[in-house]
Structure 1
Amino acid sequence: MRYINRLAAALTLGGCAFSSSTWAANGHYVPGVEGLDGPVVPPPGLYYRGYLVHYDIDSLRDGRGDALPGDNGGEVTALVNRFVWMTGKTFLGADYGLEAIIPIQDVSLRFDGVGVRDGDSGVGDIFLSPVVLGWHGERWDAVAAAGYWFDTGDFSADRPASIGKGFGSTMLTLGGSWHFDAERRWTLSALSRYEIHGKQDGTGITPGDSLVVEWGIGHRLASGLTLGLVGYDAWQLGADDGVAPGVPNDKAEQHAIGVEAGYFWPALGVGLNGAYYHEYDNRARPQGDLLRLTLTKAF
């Protein structure tokens, strides 16, 4: 009971692991949104990707991964709008581009076991990247990028469902895909995101750095339909700095496995993709299932 009371205080007073984007380990980036083709940068042109993501929370987990007592659930739904411009220029032998991400979120939390009920909706923190680099080989693709999550969403230290995180973050990206055959029908991919966080408004807390790795192995059928096994793993690498004595300061983790299916219509420049993930070992954060639908349009 003592631990639960301290956790409730952390939630109410702005504990980072449960504020804002409740589905991200302790940062801005939501694991599971890219999947199989995450490391593949498209050809020169302008692209839009719309991600409809729903995260269904079924429990709260302590620092050991055990479920906290009581009825602790909730939902987070978002439409994430991503704009990518591949300029046609090259840098370091790679195709060069830029991107922007604008999320619109709706959060509803019912953590009755720790005495928290809250909800919020609106435009979340915005991401801008001036550097997107993509390399391509006969049987491989690679990506590197750098950008910044701006503290633009509404945040309140006493609102666990705040859609803003209350801090900015630098995000570095590195990933690659390996195609087992010349026709690129079998693919193994991995995409990593590393976030370095700033100090949170109103609390003085600086979250520990975070790392997300999304992975997948997929097969494209003769019909053009792609099917795959996917997953994600996320770690908070360091404890939060500035947490008050007596407040839990465990490092958050997320681990999930799932399935993905997708199809692309070249003549229309349109792709549809869907994935379902089940989280099986989370720590110091909520745990649940994630459903993602993605629309890609090339202009």
Structure 2
Amino acid sequence: MKTKFNQRQETKFILVLALLFIYLTGNAQLKGGHILGAMGLQSGTQTPENTLSVYVPGYFYSASSLRNADGDKSIANPDLNMFITGVGATYVSDFKILGANYGATVLLAFASNRIQGNTLDSKSPFALTDTYIVPVQLGWHNKRADFVFSYQMYLPTGKFEVGASDNSGLGMFMNEFSAGTTLFFNNKKTFHFSALASYEINGKKKDTDIKTGDLFSLEGGLGKTFYTMNAEKTAPKGILNAGLIYYLQYKVTNDQIPVPIFDTIETDKDRVGGIGAEINYYHIGCSTSAGFRWIAEVEAINRFQGNTFFLTLAHVFSFKKK
């Protein structure tokens, strides 16, 4: 027999879920700006100095399972599909700060998503989403380890209106701090393990008192580097990286959703974990790289559980003096 407390908790959960469908752009929890799967092998390593990398990312997330606080399938299990792409650039200079190379990144992105269920079919158009900027990135390179520290922010450039079904942004300003390392297990730096920790601080959504809780994310992988040689076997023509990757994300503070019946609801914290594989190849002669990541989520609490796919194409311009 259900107690009044349990009935109230169940009613609260259903109401929160309904509100989230109204307020968000296709997610079952208040989502932050951090895109899981964007980092993998050598996540704690900065790109080489005096280079400009121009890249086109392709992110796709698909889920058909919504998990509750016990990790079981919830009352509603709508299908969710999210797609993000755009164009970005990362510049790393030879200017030193505390012995580290200074770098910066900007990504102009476009997104669309769709959430479907027996009584729900909501789709947002492919449109400009929030802009990702890294004004400060510091990278250190040592014989057996690399280190990186960065500050990034997400600008609310995507459309957001309370209750709208065609929102393309999250409607809030986000600050994030990251620090990580890549450890090398041999002198040639061909066997490595990496971890990048990020902490995201979220502001209130536009024209509301809704506030997404702070997020902690951990991403990295264990991989091996291989060199492909030219026909004469005299020099490498490409660099291949392959290995296992992972990500974890925890909601550190509760989401806050004002509701007249309950004043302000603080939803249960959510978390997710996933493991997968990555392969990427850099062609030295063309200064071009292509990478693919796949991560299957193996645990989810109070959020969707699915699969993440990430494809990246990049061209590197070098400004090193001959």
- What's the TM-score, normalizing by structure 1? 0.91
Q: What is the one-letter code of the residue matched to 2:109?
A: P
- 2:134 paired with 1:116: no
Aligned to 2:156: 151
Gap change, CA 1:46 and 1:35, over 3 Å in 2: same
Aligned to 2:56: 50
**Equivalent of 2:210 in 200, 205, 230:** 205
> Whole-Å Cα distance in 2 between the matches of residues 40 and 204 of structure 1?
38
**How far off is 1:160 after superposition?**
5.9
**How far off is 1:257 after superposition?**
0.5
Aligned to 1:61: 67
Aligned to 2:320: none
**Equivalent of 1:255 in 263, 273, 277:** 273
**Equivalent of 2:82 in 76, 87, 93:** 76
Per-residue deviation, residues 49-95 of structure 1 (Å, max 9, x unmatched): 22111101111122222212355102111114321111221111000
Q: Which sections of structure 1, spanning at least 5 residues, go unmatched?
A: none
Aligned to 2:3: none
More divergent stretch after superposition (217-226 vs 150-159):
217-226
> Whole-Å Cα distance in 1 between the matches of residues 188 and 104 of structure 2?
29
**Is the contact made by 2:251 and 2:270 (CA closer than 8 Å) also made in structure 1?**
yes
Aligned to 1:291: 309
**How far off is 1:187 after superposition?**
0.5
More divergent stretch after superposition (186-195 vs 216-225):
216-225
Q: What is the one-letter code of the residue matched to 1:9?
A: A
> Whole-Å Cα distance in 2 between the matches of residues 271 and 23 of structure 1?
35
**Equivalent of 1:184 in 173, 185, 189:** 189
Q: What is the one-letter code of the residue matched to 2:15?
A: R
Gap change, CA 1:236 and 1:71, over 3 Å in 2: closer
**How far off is 1:98 after superposition?**
1.4
More divergent stretch after superposition (238-247 vs 169-178):
238-247
Aligned to 2:178: 173
Gap change, CA 1:70 and 1:25, over 3 Å in 2: closer
Gap change, CA 1:256 and 1:107, over 3 Å in 2: same
Aligned to 1:9: 18
Aligned to 1:237: 252
Gap change, CA 1:149 and 1:97, over 3 Å in 2: same
Count of aligned residue pairs for this structure pair = 293
**How far off is 1:243 after superposition?**
3.5
- 2:232 paired with 1:228: no
**Is the contact made by 1:219 and 1:227 (CA closer than 8 Å) also made in structure 2?**
yes
Gap change, CA 1:240 and 1:98, over 3 Å in 2: same
> Whole-Å Cα distance in 2 between the matches of residues 23 and 103 of structure 1?
22
- What's the TM-score, normalizing by structure 2? 0.84
Q: What is the one-letter code of the residue matched to 1:207?
A: T
> Whole-Å Cα distance in 2 between the matches of residues 127 and 276 of structure 1?
22
Aligned to 2:297: 279
Per-residue deviation, residues 85-113 of structure 1 (Å, max 9, x unmatched): 1122111100001111222111111143x
More divergent stretch after superposition (115-124 vs 85-94):
115-124
> Whole-Å Cα distance in 2 between the matches of residues 240 and 227 of structure 1?
37
> Whole-Å Cα distance in 2 between the matches of residues 240 and 25 of structure 1?
7
More divergent stretch after superposition (118-127 vs 216-225):
216-225
**How far off is 1:242 after superposition?**
4.6
Gap change, CA 1:78 and 1:11, over 3 Å in 2: same
**Equivalent of 2:36 in 31, 39, 50:** 31
> Whole-Å Cα distance in 1 between the matches of residues 187 and 30 of structure 2?
37
**Is the contact made by 2:40 and 2:221 (CA closer than 8 Å) also made in structure 1?**
yes
Per-residue deviation, residues 260-299 of structure 1 (Å, max 9, x unmatched): 1111112211111111110111122211101111112101
Gap change, CA 1:249 and 1:148, over 3 Å in 2: same
> Whole-Å Cα distance in 2 between the matches of residues 283 and 216 of structure 1?
23
**Is the contact made by 1:125 and 1:153 (CA closer than 8 Å) also made in structure 2?**
yes
**Is the contact made by 1:23 and 1:55 (CA closer than 8 Å) also made in structure 2?**
no
**How far off is 1:147 after superposition?**
2.3
> Whole-Å Cα distance in 2 between the matches of residues 104 and 216 of structure 1?
27
Q: Which sections of structure 2, spanning at least 5 residues, go unmatched?
A: 1-9, 229-238, 318-322
